[in-house]
Structure 1
Amino acid sequence: MKTKNWRVIPAVIAAGILSFSGVLIETSMNVTFPKLMSEFGTNANGVQWVTTGYLLAIAIIVPISAFLIRNFSTRQLFILSNFLFLIGIILDSFSPSLTLLLVGRILQGVGTGIALPLMFHIILTKSPIKSRGMMMGIGSMITSLAPAVGPTYGGVLLNTLGWRSIFWFLIILVLISLVIGLISIPAENIKRTEKFPAKTFIFLALGLSLVLLAIEKMSLLMAIIGIFSLVIFYTLNKKQQLLQLTLFKNKRFNFYMYGFLAYQAILLGLSFILPNYLQLNLHVSAAAAGAFMFPGALISAILAPVSGSLLDKIGQYRPILFGLIISTIALTIMFLYFPSLNFWTLMLTHMLLMVGIGFSYANFMTVTLATLPTNETTDGNGILNTAQQFVGATATAVVAQIITTAMHKNQATGMVIGSKQGIGVLTVLIILSLILFIGVNRRQK
């Protein structure tokens, strides 16, 4: 695991700790939403931008990751991502308003948007191919541990020291990441050979932002302008390439990527629905709502490297299919019996779902990138991470809109009805993923 002064596993861990911190802060903030709504005088649609704005920042930055990796050294990018994330944490640790809180969240999103693809780039370019599935599993495990810890971490600190303290303790983690990275990632001379495609980047950022705003505001005009901006991006991208969109001609890449993105929508959608439902409808504390998410997320994190090793040994089909079947069963049960499930039965259903996610989620990313030739892997990684964050932000915005609409119609039962409708949308996504996966692999055989 040493390549020209590289220490691969510590380097992955260093980038992983920063990615972990990003996901930790994302999931730990979800349990604070009822408190933030009260403190800042906003509703579910307004407060969801604490997560959506963060994910949007990642989605906007990740597309330029391929450009950054080609034109800057890994060490330079690693230091920059740490620096931006640290500034964002400091801002949020004393933010007196929702606006300043969102500014800090966006800076954290930019830092995480550089760190996430950087971690997988290190794995894909520095680890031996025979153990790549396991290494991808380790990378996914690092970031998957964050959802296990995040809600509990956020809930406990919210109840004891207040929501701003959630940011205080991350400073130590970021500094540890920086020290490990400086030791394990060597300085390399990278010549800049490309001009940054600024116009292409601006229209992509504008398009993604307006599409999300259109969902929150239910604005047809914003949706039209957003789609038009994405069409301009597509045209400009042919002249000044930011993302290698020809990858979408690869049908296997598209089908496997759908499965990966369906899981991302499920993870982010449920991380918004369940903590808020538990607090607002079942009237549990923020700490209890956080602890609710811990067992399932821990199961998923532990299974990620295990399923990666299975992929290395027996191939992709059986581990992913098993995970998809378990996930489909769990989400179907959750949807059909949602109003009658209490705290404990809902937790058991969530744990079953996370078993399925543990077997499929990281492996979907591995097999999606494995459909590409080596020279397209960096661009594929950029596209996959961009789509991952945008889909996560979209899923959060969609379920927030569903719940807000239901609560406006009926304040008493709106939370239950809206939560069930949101889970229904996510259930359809996993069923389609299962059907597509079986179909693609039958044709391949």
Structure 2
Amino acid sequence: MSFCGVIVETAMNITFPTLMKEFSVGTDGVQWMTTLYLLVVASITPLSAELKRRFTNRTLFLWANLLFLSGVLIDGLAGHFWLLLLGRAVQGLGTSIALPLMFNIILDEVPARRIGTMMGVGTLITAIGPAVGPTFGGLVSTTIGWRFIFVFLVPVLLTSLILGLACIRATPPSSQDAGLNPLDVLLIILAFSGLIFAISNASAGALPWRFTGSLLVGFAALAWFIRRATHQNQPVIDVRLFKGKSFSLHVCAYILYEVCALALSFVLPNYIQLVNGRNALQAGLIVLPGAAIGAILAPVSGRIYDQLGARLPILSGSLISLIGLVGFALSGRRLPDGLIIIFYICFMLGIGLSFGNIMTNGLRQLTQGEQADGNAIFNTVQQFAAALGSSTAATLVAAGQVAETSRRLGTIDGSCHTFILLVVLGIAESALAFMLTARRRSASQ
């Protein structure tokens, strides 16, 4: 089910030019197909620790699967763009339950000596989606139409439902008295929605009050939520974990990595189609090698973590990814398909080595009782950072298109600005990787 959640996200990215033409929406509008989905996931995932305390794993899985299946059916039959967005939101509800549930099961049942490897397997499951999603989406949309992307997921989700009901144990909840405060849920939704909506409205031509107002709402809601959480005995998500400097460094590095990854997943398919003149299938095939390498390396790097510690995979992966980003920035105005393949392989090679291990090592800084909340934090910031990355990239590309006389030249300008920003973020992530592995070298080994 987690695989379906990621593959449908990346498969739809490749169809954006087709959706723009069919539903008469612009670049900054069509990106809400991804951004809304990620916003829903980011808004609901913080509740995962509370849901784990209140419901059995089996119950959570059942609801997640049925919600996701409903969203897929809505999108497959949608005749208007707003229905597509509704379906994406319902899918986000299912994924927001499924992703943290998968990692919670790993944290609960896997021995400590194998935790890196199995967390790598969990990362592999979510990384397979970006590996095959663009190719799958491009092949389906080019040959029989984009709607069949959703049609083909139906039997996969039904199989997932049967396997999950047969295999997932109905472990008792840790607290029957746990409850969800409606105000906390509302504040989480307002915080993430406000911040991402502000970014999406920062493109050229947007009304200033939309950006400023959304930003203020987002920060105000986030500050209010944090204030409430620090004074509650059992908060929805324990933000007091951020008092630990090492844990906070891991979360920051994780956020920067995810922003870079999702920004590239938006920019590259559009660049390949709108600048290099390829179709959706060709765009998917071009990004396939890099995405596949990143996915395959996830469990391998987890095993390296178990045997050699955190420093080697995290630091080397961060530096390799940075090299790929620098390559994109230096060649952005003239970026043929061959260079895209090379630079993306380099970037995803680094992702495969370090991304999952940053989460694993970050959770190692917590006690067993804190790990459910830590897992909720990592899954939340991952989705929020993903929404931020795709929104930022869409904003920069849209701004470039508005400023130029042709969509092709505008896409080049916007992509170049995005690549430069990602290099800055990549440098910051590499610095954090050095700091966190240097601080915790003995503990992680």
Q: Please give the range of the TM-score, normalised by the shorter of the 2 chains.
A: over 0.9
1:81 aligns with 2:64: yes
Q: State the Cα distance separating 1:442 from its structure 2 match.
A: 3.2
The correspondence for 1:302, drawn from 296, 299, 302, is 296
Q: State the Cα distance separating 1:98 from its structure 2 match.
A: 0.8
Q: In the alignment, residue 272 of structure 1 is paired with which amino acid?
A: F
Counterpart in 2 of 1:338? 332
- Would the alpha carbon gap of residues 332 and 401 (structure 1) be closer, same or farther in structure 2, given more than 3 Å must change? same
Counterpart in 1 of 2:78? 95
| In 2: Cα distance, 1:272 partner to 1:85 partner | 23
| In 2: Cα distance, 1:352 partner to 1:225 partner | 39
Q: How does 1:307-318 map to 2 (within 5 A)?
A: 307-318=301-312
The correspondence for 1:194, drawn from 164, 172, 178, is 178
What are the superposed Cα offsets for residues 4-26 of structure 1, whole Å, 9 maximum, x if unpaired? xxxxxxxxxxxxxx011000000
Q: Do the aligned partners of 1:253 and 1:368 also contact (CA within 8 Å) in 2?
A: yes
Counterpart in 1 of 2:357? 363
How big is the alpha-carbon RMSD for the aligned residues of Structure 1 and Structure 2? Answer: 1.2
Q: State the Cα distance separating 1:188 from its structure 2 match.
A: 3.3
What are the superposed Cα offsets for residues 179-227 of structure 1, whole Å, 9 maximum, x if unpaired? 1111111223435212211111101101211111111223112211221
Q: Do the aligned partners of 1:151 and 1:291 also contact (CA within 8 Å) in 2?
A: yes
| In 1: Cα distance, 2:136 partner to 2:292 partner | 13
State the SS of the aligned residue for 1:338.
coil
Counterpart in 2 of 1:6? none
Q: In the alignment, residue 383 of structure 1 is paired with which amino acid?
A: I
1:421 aligns with 2:413: no
Q: State the Cα distance separating 1:385 from its structure 2 match.
A: 0.7
Q: Do the aligned partners of 2:315 and 2:437 also contact (CA within 8 Å) in 1?
A: no
1:209 aligns with 2:193: yes
1:107 aligns with 2:90: yes
Q: How does 1:2-401 map to 2 (within 5 A)?
A: 18-190=1-173, 192-218=176-202, 219-240=211-232, 241-401=235-395
Q: Do the aligned partners of 2:54 and 2:179 also contact (CA within 8 Å) in 1?
A: no
What are the superposed Cα offsets for residues 385-425 of structure 1, whole Å, 9 maximum, x if unpaired? 11110110011111101111111111332111100111111
1:411 aligns with 2:405: yes
State the SS of the aligned residue for 1:340.
coil
Q: In the alignment, residue 425 of structure 2 is paired with which amino acid?
A: L
State the SS of the aligned residue for 2:25.
coil
| In 2: Cα distance, 1:149 partner to 1:249 partner | 39
Aligned residues: 428
Counterpart in 2 of 1:430? 426
Q: State the Cα distance separating 1:439 from its structure 2 match.
A: 2.8
Q: State the Cα distance separating 1:340 from its structure 2 match.
A: 2.4
Q: Do the aligned partners of 2:230 and 2:240 also contact (CA within 8 Å) in 1?
A: no
Q: State the Cα distance separating 1:239 from its structure 2 match.
A: 4.6
Q: Do the aligned partners of 2:74 and 2:84 also contact (CA within 8 Å) in 1?
A: yes
- Consecutive unaligned residues in structure 1, runs of 5 or more: 1-17
Q: Do the aligned partners of 1:93 and 1:164 also contact (CA within 8 Å) in 2?
A: yes
| Over 4 Å off, 4+ runs | none
Q: Do the aligned partners of 1:147 and 1:293 also contact (CA within 8 Å) in 2?
A: no
| In 1: Cα distance, 2:405 partner to 2:93 partner | 37
Q: Do the aligned partners of 1:327 and 1:354 also contact (CA within 8 Å) in 2?
A: yes
Q: Do the aligned partners of 1:199 and 1:236 also contact (CA within 8 Å) in 2?
A: no
| In 2: Cα distance, 1:147 partner to 1:444 partner | 31
Q: In the alignment, residue 425 of structure 1 is paired with which amino acid?
A: L
Q: State the Cα distance separating 1:443 from its structure 2 match.
A: 4.1
What are the superposed Cα offsets for residues 199-258 of structure 1, whole Å, 9 maximum, x if unpaired? 111011012111111112231122112211222222332455111010000111111112
Q: Do the aligned partners of 1:303 and 1:359 also contact (CA within 8 Å) in 2?
A: yes
Q: Do the aligned partners of 1:201 and 1:233 also contact (CA within 8 Å) in 2?
A: no
TM-score of the two chains, using structure 1 as the length reference: 0.94
- Consecutive unaligned residues in structure 2, runs of 5 or more: 203-210
State the SS of the aligned residue for 1:186.
coil
1:442 aligns with 2:426: no
Once the two structures are aligned, what percentage of the paired residues are identical? 40
